Amino acid sequence: MPRSFFDYPDQAETKPADDLVLLPHWPEDKWALLVKHGEILGFQTGDDVIRHGDTDRSFFIIIEGALEILIPRGHTNQLKRTQTTEAGAVIGEQAFLDGKPRSATIRALTQGKLLRVSAEAFDVLAAYQPDLARDILFDLARILSVKLRHANLFIAHWVK
């Protein structure tokens, strides 16, 4: 089951090695360096932080506030909310890795802030601190692989 339905608080704490946590063992100073290389964006309720079809290659970490993920559905391609997401979530990492157009629009439900790390900023980070960049890439790839496994399991289980 997805954690988001039964996110029991005690488990969140006793499971630091949760397989979808990005860089669980990174000390704070490394995060501070990442922040230095990224951009902090503010958003207001209703702002589109990511637009479906955009081609910018960045990933984001939500610092404050809540956003909804909208995906075009049906033949009218009307945007429908599939999920909400809030502080602490990493979003957009797939387009960051594959450079493909964004598959969803992410719209702010509240005001808030997020950290944006673009491919360009990442390049700069990688040149200065190859170790950090390698950590990030490896971990993003690991998480992607975990998700793929989950998806495969799910399909094997429920798609007759």
Partner 1 sequence: MTNTSLPPLPPFPNYTQLRAHSRIPLALWSALRVVSVAATLLLIGLLLVEPQTGLIVFWSILVPLLPAVFFIAPGLWRNICPLAALNQTPRVFGFTRGWTAPKWWQEYSYVVGFVLFLACASSRKWLFNDDGLASGLLIAGALVGAFLGGVLFKGKSGWCSSLCPLYPVQRVYNQTPLLTLPNSHCTPCVGCTKNCYDFNPGVAYLADLYDDDPYYSNYRRFFVAVFPGFVLAYFTLPDPPALTLASLYWGFGMYMLLSVGVFFLLDIFLKVTTNKITALFTAVAFNTYYWFSIPAWLHTISGAESQAWSWGLRGAVLVATGVWLARTYAKEQPFLQHIMQPEETRVTVGAARVLREATKTGSAEVTFLPQELRVLVEPNRTVLETAEGNNLPLEAGCRMGVCGADPIVILNGMENLSPISDDERSTLERLGLGANARMACMCRVKGAVSISLHIQDAQPAAPIASANARYDETIKQVVIIGNGIGGVTAADYVRRNHPLCEIHLIGREKHPLYNRMAITRLIYGRSAMSGLYLQPDSWYDERKITVWLNTRAAHIRPAEKFVELATGEHLPYDRLIIAAGSESYMPPITGDGLPGIFVVREAEDAMEMRAYVQEHRCRRAVIAGGGLLGLEAGYALHKLGLDVSILERSSWLLRRQLDERGSQFLRHYLEGLGMDIVTHAELEGVTGEQRAQTVQLKDGRTFDCDVLVVAAGIQPNIHLAHELGLEIDRGIMVDEHMRTQLPEVFAVGDAAQFNGKVLGLWPVAVEQAKVAAINAAGGDAVYREIVPVTALKVVGVELTSIGRFEPETDEEMVITVEDTAAHQYRKLLIAQGKIVGAIFLGCPTDVPVVTEVIKREVDVTPHLDALRAGEWQVLASAV
Tell me how far apart the alpha carbons of residues 79 and 2 are, in angstroms, rounded to a whole number.
23
Query: Is the distance from CB of 143 to CB of 20 less than 8 angstroms?
Result: yes
> If binding is defined by CB under 8 A, does position 97 make contact with partner 1?
no
Q: Using CB under 8 A, which of 53, 77, 78, 81 touches partner 1?
A: 81
Which member of 53, 88, 99, 101 binds partner 1 (CB under 8 A)?
88
Spatial distance between the Cα atoms of 127 and 119, rounded to a whole number of angstroms = 12
Nearest distance from C-beta of residue 97 to partner 1, angstroms: 12
**Out of 74, 75, 76, 157, which residue is the one contacting partner 1 (CB under 8 A)?**
157
DSSP 8-state symbol, 101? P
Contacts of 25 (CB under 8 A, 6+ apart): none
Q: Which of residues 111-130 bind partner 1 (CB under 8 A)?
A: 113, 115-116, 118, 120-121, 123-124, 126-128, 130
Q: Which of residues 55-74 bind partner 1 (CB under 8 A)?
A: 56, 61, 63-66
51 binds partner 1 (CB under 8 A): no
Q: What is the CA radius of gyration of the chain?
A: 16
77 contacts partner 1 (rule: CB under 8 A) = no
Interface with partner 1, residue 75, by CB under 8 A: no
Q: Exposure of 18 by Cβ count < 10 A (0-12 exposed, 13-18 middle, 19+ buried)?
A: exposed
Minimum Å gap between C-beta 125 and partner 1 is 9
141 binds partner 1 (CB under 8 A): no
Closest CA to 96 of 133, 127, 64: 133
